Amino acid sequence: MTKRALITGITGQDGSYLAELLLDKGYEVSGLVRRSSTDTRERIAHIVPRVHLIPGDMSDQGSLIDVMAEAQPDEVYNLAAQSFVGDSWKQALYTGDVDALGVTRLLEAIRRKAPSARFYQASSSEMFGKVREVPQVETTPFHPRSPYGVAKVYGYFITLNYRESFGMHASNGILFNHESPRRGIEFVTRKITDGVAKIKLGLADELRLGNLDSQRDWGFAGDYVEMMWLMLQQDEPDDYVVATGVMHTVRQFCEIAFAHVGLDYEQFVVVDDRFVRPAEVDLLLGDSAKAKRVLGWEPKVSFNALVELMVDADMERLAPIAAAGASEPR
């Protein structure tokens, strides 16, 4: 029998990779999409004919119940979120409404309309914030340092509560940073690769960044969505850290990205205080030994390969724009 999956946040980076993965596996895929006057479907344009998009909103409980009734999912992946840490300071309320309360609304909708569905909650390494130990594992206490991190901690616990008290098959993936050419332009990795391509193509002459010494454990989104799927195929629901276990600085990311197009990052990168966060998180480094042991999961794309993949994609995207611009007088 064909399995049915519902993905919230299907128009995002992870949603689009996950939708591809599930379609390849023969799922019927539905996706929750927010009404918007602008087109938010760029990342899923290539699969739109094959997915069933249902309008709804994480802040509207009635809509979630309707969506659940319509999709009748066997598996629900909650990837919808206000996912930018920096903006969570400017929109603390909205972040709480969508990222925290939205999870409860969704779990309640599942209880009403699809009680046997399995549930995946996208938890985040930002929950560790001011880290209590390095590397972080499933048992590391949380100390979130942003409204985003705080909301994600709530989402984690409410998922755990519904699993333990209602016996739902609900699991958390504690995902460390994961990037791709589809990463939003507001995230530092994509901002860098976009900036590198623009500089290389003569569309920009500098790249302004916050703290270059910030370190992160960056993996490839395409690898990470596979892990989400694996978690829901287990007999028992559980929580897993998903990470590469290797840390790099923003500076190293810049170095590799610029070098890939034959440039020296030091000539173009400018540190701008406006991009420094009010409270920076410490050493976010994940230990995904449990995922490797129990699920047999392992990341495939290396750090260098990831950076180069992203730069290549941005070069390809911007080259026609640069070519068109060059033919016109400035």
Partner 1 sequence: MTTRALITGAAGQDGTYLTELLIGKGYEVYGVIGPAPGAFRDGIGRWGEAYTVLSADLTDMESLLRAVEVSRPDEVYNLAAQSSVGGSWVDAVTTTEVNAVGVVRLLEAVRQTAPQAHVFQAASAEMFGNGAEVPQRESTPLRPHSPYAATKAYAFHIARSYRESYGMHVSSGIMFNHESPLRGMQFVTRKITNTVARIKLGLADELCLGNLDAKRDWGFAGDYVEAMRLMLQSAEADDYVIATGEVHTVRDFCETAFSHVGLDWRRYVRTDEASMRPVDVDVLCGDSSKARRLLGWEPKVRFEELAAMMVDADMQLESQADGPVRS
If one asks whether residue 104 binds partner 1 (CB under 8 A), the answer comes out as: yes
Closest CA to 250 of 301, 207, 203, 201: 207
If one asks whether residue 97 binds partner 1 (CB under 8 A), the answer comes out as: yes
Name the active-site residue from 83, 124, 180, 288.
Answer: 124
Output 38 or 139, the one with its CB closest to partner 1.
139
Name the active-site residue from 17, 27, 77, 148.
Answer: 148
Find the part of the chain contacting partner 1 (CB under 8 A) among 43-51, 95-103, 114-122, 243-251: 95-103
Output 109 or 227, the one with its CB closest to partner 1.
109
Separation of alpha carbons 273 and 276, rounded Å: 5
Q: Is 120 a catalytic residue?
A: no
How many residues sit close enough to partner 1 to count as binding (CB under 8 A)?
32
Tell which phi-psi region holds residue 292, choosing left (phi > 0), alpha (psi between -120 and 50) or beta. alpha
Name residues whose C-beta falls within 8 Å of residue 282's C-beta, 6 or more positions apart in sequence. 129, 130, 131, 134
DSSP states of 283-306: ---B--HHIIIII-----S-HHHH
Find the part of the chain contacting partner 1 (CB under 8 A) among 161-169, 194-202, 203-211, 252-260: 161-169
Q: Is 148 a catalytic residue?
A: yes
Name the active-site residue from 20, 28, 126, 226.
Answer: 126
If one asks whether residue 165 binds partner 1 (CB under 8 A), the answer comes out as: yes
List the one residue from 92, 134, 259, 261 that touches partner 1 (CB under 8 A). 92
Q: Answer whether 278's CB lies under 8 Å from 89's CB.
A: yes
Pairing of strands 269-271, 118-124: unpaired
Output 50 or 275, the one with its CB closest to partner 1.
275
CA 309, 314, 320, 322 torsion: positive or negative?
negative
Q: Is 126 a catalytic residue?
A: yes
List the one residue from 93, 296, 327, 329 that touches partner 1 (CB under 8 A). 93
If one asks whether residue 278 binds partner 1 (CB under 8 A), the answer comes out as: yes
Question: Which phi and psi (to 5°) does residue 144 adopt?
Answer: -65, 150
Q: Which of residues 137-156 bind partner 1 (CB under 8 A)?
A: 141-142, 144-147, 149-151, 153-154
Q: Answer whether 192's CB lies under 8 Å from 254's CB.
A: yes
If one asks whether residue 135 binds partner 1 (CB under 8 A), the answer comes out as: no
Pairing of strands 118-124, 170-175: parallel
Q: Answer whether 33's CB lies under 8 Å from 26's CB.
A: no
Q: Is the peptide bond before 329 cis (omega within 30 degrees of 0)?
A: no
If one asks whether residue 187 binds partner 1 (CB under 8 A), the answer comes out as: no
Please report, as ranges, the residues that interact with partner 1 according to CB under 8 A: 61, 89, 92-93, 96-97, 100-101, 104-105, 107-108, 132, 141-142, 144-147, 149-151, 153-154, 157-158, 161, 164-166, 278-279
Catalytic residues: 124, 126, 148
